[in-house]
Structure 1
Amino acid sequence: MKDYSYVLALECPKCSATYEVNKIHQLCKCGSPLLVRYDLEKIKANVSREEIAKRPNSLWRYHELLPVCDQESVISLGEGMTPFEKLPLLGAEYGLNHLYIKDEGIIPTGSFKTRGASVGISKAKELGVKQLAMPTNGNAGAAWALYAAKANIKATIVMPLDAPQITRKEVYIAGGDLHLINGLISDAGKVVAKLVQNHGVYDASTLKEPYRIEGKKTMGYEIVEQFGWKVPDVILYPTGGGVGIIGIYKAILELQQLGWIEDGKLPRLVAVQAEGCAPIVEAWKKGERESKFFENSTTCAFGINVPKALGDFLVLEAVYETEGCAIAVSEEELLKAQKQVASLEGNFICPEGAATFAAAKILREQGWIQADDHVVCLNTGSGIKYPETVEIEGVETLQPGQEILVNN
């Protein structure tokens, strides 16, 4: 890796205001998240797909398309290039001839949040940040606490009391300043907002800093590269805060402008939510550009229990502009899918990832997805981090020396 900088500016997708990238910025003055813009023509002239393919299997292989200017600031645990595999048995069960999984459970910290943490923490270090704070449903806080530890940045993490226990332990063991709140991530967000306002702490909340999305977008780069520099027909993504689906859409548009996508088409993006928390789905059904706060939200897919996302308008734009859709699945459907993926294909996926498979099944039954479409489901974390979603039943307890009866 060399010294590099192809960043032009931070840009507001609502009012088009621009900001310098070498200073700390949170939201635009109009309240919108900011997006990083690059000199894509310069990148196109200096970098090729073939050169990138020769680099180490890390998300930093795309460093020209990432916002960190000084390689000494990069904080990495070797994240990126997660498995992209065809699932023939599950595909046959669903009536899909080309069903794939992009498995983000096989990554440091065990979830896709690692990508945002690597790039977000690296840029925070470059900007001289000494302390950050963020609300989280679990995995993001765990990832940011661990990467912050490596960067020598203090991380204050606030998460709901019923967040997955392992994520609390990840924050704690990393030396993070952990706080639990008897409420939702939206309640945690209010606590963080006060800390930021009163003490000037760097706000690492979803989309309140511009760089988490840059790490998440590398999932889009990898899907295209692993798919032979082509795009699949459909990509299904579990949507809470929505940074992943926004990032994948941004990545596809950037690759198009670079001329690196073979066929030039867009994949149809599907925002998948749980029936117990489906603000994006409700907005999409009505053709609206922003969502409303989803009251009394609840789901075992804890990572997508976000009643109101700051970047909802960007999620809906990605869905509309790719002729995609938004769909909600039941708890029963996603837990059934989680078991099917494990029992048929050997992947123990998280409940959020399972929601995408449940959605793929429903959309195939409805005819929205065709049998020969190339379909990618994003599994955003390891199922091992959610042991409470699996109930063991009918298991025999043996006594010492007792033989197992074999039924033929």
Structure 2
Amino acid sequence: MTYSLVSHLTCPKCSETYDVDTIQQLCVCGSPLLVEYKLDEVKKHVTKEMIAEREQSLWRYHELLPIRKIENKVSFEEGMTPFLFLPRLGEEIGIPNLYIKDEGMVPTGSFKARGAAVGVSKAKELGVQNLAMPTNGNAGAAWSLYAAKAGLEAHIVMPVDAPEMTRKEVSISGAHLYLVNGLISDAGKIVGDLVKERGYYDASTLKEPYRIEGKKTMGYEIAEQLNWELPDVILYPTGGGVGLIGIYKAFLELQKLGWIKEEKLPKLVAVQAEGCAPIVKAFDEGKTESEFWENSTTLAFGINVPKAIGDFLVLDAIYQTNGCAIAVSEEEIRASQREVARLEGQFICPEGAATFAAAETLKKHGWIKEEEQVVCLNTGLGIKYPEAFEVDVKTMEPFERIKS
């Protein structure tokens, strides 16, 4: 039995196929490529019961990941993050069956570790020596640290306004850090030049096919942690949208394997900030692709992506699951971040807080029903964003009166 039952790469737009054992970036038509597996073989040789006995990391699903040889695996035992019931917050916002999938508990403190683990592992397997990528922070930090473990050189370009903590993670890893006075789209142009002029491997979002494979394991885990049942609604903070695309891909694969019973998949919700909501605008207009969002800004820096290369895949996942896209305000994000901490003791990131703000709004408008099981994805640790909130310090005056 081989470590992986990966088959080939395929284009979701033109159906062109590619070899999974040589370096591939985008399809000739410009679309991202998706990884396909020999699902009939997986079905013959792997069972849910076998999965349950394996290591507590995303590599428990190794047949459904693209790494051919176990020696190429680059891992900090990432995955199998907490899936927790939030009764007090659920009661507060009128969603009694409210849950959090907490990705702040993985190495590097964000869900980006999943994509980095699989993406760097496959880059190592393909013989890559230098990789380059634009980032809003967490992805660059994760890929830098995983690249260091793999012995690869990482070249990371991020906006100068990216969270300071992520810049320090990139720097301490020994990666080459470049700051640009602009947005991630501007960083992407610089990476494009590095790739063209120096021949670096382009690890930009969806310009290599393997980051999504790490992210999809969130979908596998949600199903497994719910005893192979699926929730009614999943809310996801959406910038590049790889996590949402990956979760949808995971559910389709589980359906084909017969590991989940539901014919009806969870309604997927793409959550964006009002200051950068290209997916929401496209959804509201019934379009299949988004337009570039001018002058984008949000404190939830990870979802400040004015134009996602995989926007058509995000929108398709939403449409196919009868989901929706919703934008929330900066005030709502801040309020939700405080509410989750105050009621449930969890210090989540602004992007994760956006999903709870969205859930509350959708419940108020009747889109989420009271009896539905709802899962919000928190994509990172709040402690990585110290500049995103203000400290509320109480006066010492009452204590001074007691002492006198």
- Tell me the TM-score range normalised by the shorter chain: over 0.9
- The match for 1:353 is 352
- The match for 1:39 is 38
- The match for 1:27 is 26
Contact residue 231 and residue 265 of structure 1 kept, 8 A: no
Deviation readout 1:308-354 (Å, 9 max, x if unpaired): 00000000000000000000000000110000000000110000000
Q: State how far apart, in whole Å, the 1-side matches of 2:240 and 2:402 are.
A: 49
- The match for 2:244 is 245
Report SS of the residue matched to 2:105: coil
- The match for 2:51 is 52
Following superposition, the deviation at residue 4 of structure 1 comes to: 1.8
Q: State how far apart, in whole Å, the 2-side matches of 1:174 and 1:68 are.
A: 24
Do residues 176 (structure 1) and 175 (structure 2) align?
A: yes
Report SS of the residue matched to 1:85: strand
Following superposition, the deviation at residue 397 of structure 1 comes to: 5.4
Q: State how far apart, in whole Å, the 2-side matches of 1:259 and 1:333 are.
A: 40
Q: How does 1:178-197 map to 2 (within 5 A)?
A: 178-197=177-196
Q: State how far apart, in whole Å, the 1-side matches of 2:74 and 2:401 are.
A: 51
Which letter does structure 2 place at the counterpart of 1:117? Answer: A
Following superposition, the deviation at residue 69 of structure 1 comes to: 0.3
Q: How does 1:1-400 map to 2 (within 5 A)?
A: 3-396=2-395
Q: State how far apart, in whole Å, the 1-side matches of 2:320 and 2:275 are.
A: 26
Q: State how far apart, in whole Å, the 1-side matches of 2:207 and 2:54 are.
A: 31
Q: Which runs of 4+ in 1 moved over 6 A?
A: none
Which letter does structure 1 place at the counterpart of 2:53? Answer: K
Deviation readout 1:33-87 (Å, 9 max, x if unpaired): 0000001111001000000011111000000000000000000001000000010
Report SS of the residue matched to 1:132: strand
Following superposition, the deviation at residue 263 of structure 1 comes to: 2.8
Which letter does structure 1 place at the counterpart of 2:46? Answer: V
Contact residue 273 and residue 327 of structure 1 kept, 8 A: yes
Deviation readout 1:345-401 (Å, 9 max, x if unpaired): 0110000000000000000000000001000000000000001112013433599xx
Contact residue 142 and residue 171 of structure 1 kept, 8 A: yes
Which letter does structure 2 place at the counterpart of 1:110? Answer: G
Report SS of the residue matched to 1:32: coil
TM, length-normalised to structure 1: 0.97
Deviation readout 1:234-278 (Å, 9 max, x if unpaired): 000000000000000000000000000133320000000000000
Q: State how far apart, in whole Å, the 1-side matches of 2:311 and 2:254 are.
A: 23
Q: State how far apart, in whole Å, the 1-side matches of 2:402 and 2:79 are.
A: 45
Which letter does structure 2 place at the counterpart of 1:307? Answer: P
Which letter does structure 1 place at the counterpart of 2:377? Answer: L
Q: State how far apart, in whole Å, the 1-side matches of 2:347 and 2:4 are.
A: 39
Structure 1, unaligned runs of 5 or more: none
Which letter does structure 2 place at the counterpart of 1:107? Answer: V
Which letter does structure 2 place at the counterpart of 1:213? Answer: I
TM, length-normalised to structure 2: 0.98
Q: State how far apart, in whole Å, the 2-side matches of 1:64 and 1:5 are.
A: 4
Which letter does structure 1 place at the counterpart of 2:91? Answer: A
Structure 2, unaligned runs of 5 or more: none
Which letter does structure 2 place at the counterpart of 1:345? Answer: E
Q: State how far apart, in whole Å, the 1-side matches of 2:318 and 2:170 are.
A: 33
Report SS of the residue matched to 1:217: helix
Which letter does structure 2 place at the counterpart of 1:396? Answer: T
Contact residue 111 and residue 380 of structure 1 kept, 8 A: yes
Q: State how far apart, in whole Å, the 2-side matches of 1:149 and 1:397 are.
A: 47
Q: State how far apart, in whole Å, the 1-side matches of 2:334 and 2:6 are.
A: 42
Which letter does structure 2 place at the counterpart of 1:285? Answer: D
Report SS of the residue matched to 2:276: coil
What number of residue pairs does the alignment pair up?
Answer: 403
Which letter does structure 1 place at the counterpart of 2:81? Answer: T
Report SS of the residue matched to 2:149: helix
What is the alpha-carbon root mean square deviation over aligned residues?
Answer: 1.4
Report SS of the residue matched to 2:4: coil
